[in-house]
Amino acid sequence: MAAINAGIIPLGNASNQNSHWDLGSSFFFAGTVITTIGFGNISPRTKGGKIFCIIYALLGIPLFGFLLAGVGDQLGTIFGKGIARVEDMFEKWNVSQTKIRIISTVIFILFGCILFVAIPAVIFQHIEDWHTLDAFYFVVITLTTIGFGDYVAGGSDVEYLDFYKPVVWFWILVGLAYFAAVLSMIGDWLRVLSRKTKEEVGEFRAHAAEWTANVTAEFKETRRRLSVEIYDKFQRATSIKRKLSAELAVTSNHEMTPCKRTLSVNHLTSDKETFSPMTKCESLYLNGLAPHSPNEEIAIIDNYK
């Protein structure tokens, strides 16, 4: 009871046992609430404190979002001016715009990492007596608002300056703005990449559709042309066949004499009988042919004459 009345929280590890509700600790606690980090080394214990913390979080977190956006814009403007100078310098060296943007982005990220990650990690390493890995671990976990609470700046058995925790919270504010700017930049890259990918896919689909339409049209045209050619060849072949048949018929008619044509008719009408060789030369009977009646004999003689 004496510890609680003195503002000491007798819970958790040794570092948490020295968390007092002084002005600096209260300011630091308020900052961890609205930034949603919530280390957990300091927390309200009374009903009134819990009710106030609920109301403060519901109102403070959205307002802090607007504040963070404004700080991020100002920070981006400051960095943008420096990057613009760097881009102007590279433009004088006739460097392509793509390379200039890549170089400027890398410079922005490296400078921010040095200013908000590397330098604070070195400072925390010396003040909190942490290992290098632990210091970088605390910086990254804090600026990403994860806030496990296993490492907390200002929570050790060390006598800190009065403005130490407010300065730490200010670093958190600016660092969060920087990380928000980096995440926004990454989001813009992804949107641009997605837009380009969609445009490329759209162009590919358009080319594919055009190619398919051209191939289909060519196939239809080829099929139509082949059909026409085949039909023409068929018509020509039919016409040639008819002409040849007509010419053969005319030729055969011209080659046969009237006597032969008459004899041919007599031969067709007497294909069921077998005739003996010619017996009457004066009647001009042909070998194997003989008239059935005197009229046929007279016709044969007359036609032959």
In DSSP notation, the chain reads: -HHHHTT----SSTTGGG---SHHHHHHHHHHHHTT---SSS---SHHHHHHHHHHHHHHHHHHHHHHHHHHHHHHHHHHHHHHHHHHHHHHTT--HHHHHHHHHHHHHHHHHIIIIIHHHHHHHHHTT--HHHHHHHHHHHHTT---SSS-TT-SSS---TTHHHHHHHHHHHHHHHHHHHHHHHHHHHHHHHHHHHHHHHHHHHHHHHHHHHHHHHHHHHHHHHHHHHHHHHHHHHHHHHHHHHHHHHHHHHHS-HHHHHHHHHHHHTTT---PPP--TTTTPPTT---SSHHHHHHHHHHH-
At 7, the pLDDT band (50, 70, 90 cuts) reads low
Mean pLDDT of 63-88: 83
Task: Answer whether residue 97 shows pLDDT above 90.
Answer: no
Q: Which residues are CB-neighbours of 173 under 8 A, at least 6 positions away? A: 31, 35, 67, 68, 71
The identity of residue 239, as a single letter, is S
pLDDT digits (tens, 9 = 90+) for 189-246: 788 778 878 877 888 788 888 888 888 888 788 878 878 888 778 788 888 888 888 8
* Residue count of the chain: 305
∠ CA 188-194-200, nearest 5°, is: 135
At 54, the pLDDT band (50, 70, 90 cuts) reads very high
The predicted structure's pLDDT at residue 252: 63
How many percent of the chain have pLDDT more than 70? 75
Q: Which two tokens stand for residue 172?
A: 């958190």
Q: Which two tokens stand for residue 20?
A: 């007092």
Q: In the 3-class helix/strand/coil scheme, how is 102-148 assigned residue by residue?
A: HHHHHHHHHHHHHHHHHHHHHHHHHHCCCCHHHHHHHHHHHHCCCCC
Q: Which residues are CB-neighbours of 301 under 8 A, at least 6 positions away? A: 283, 284
pLDDT digits (tens, 9 = 90+) for 291-301: 555 444 444 44
Mean pLDDT of 255-270: 50
Taking a C-beta distance cutoff of 8 angstroms, is the pair 62, 32 a contact? no
Q: Is the pTM of this model over 0.75?
A: no
The predicted structure's pLDDT at residue 186: 77
**Cβ burial, residue 28 (10 Å; 0-12/13-18/19+):** buried
Mean confidence (pLDDT) of the chain: 77
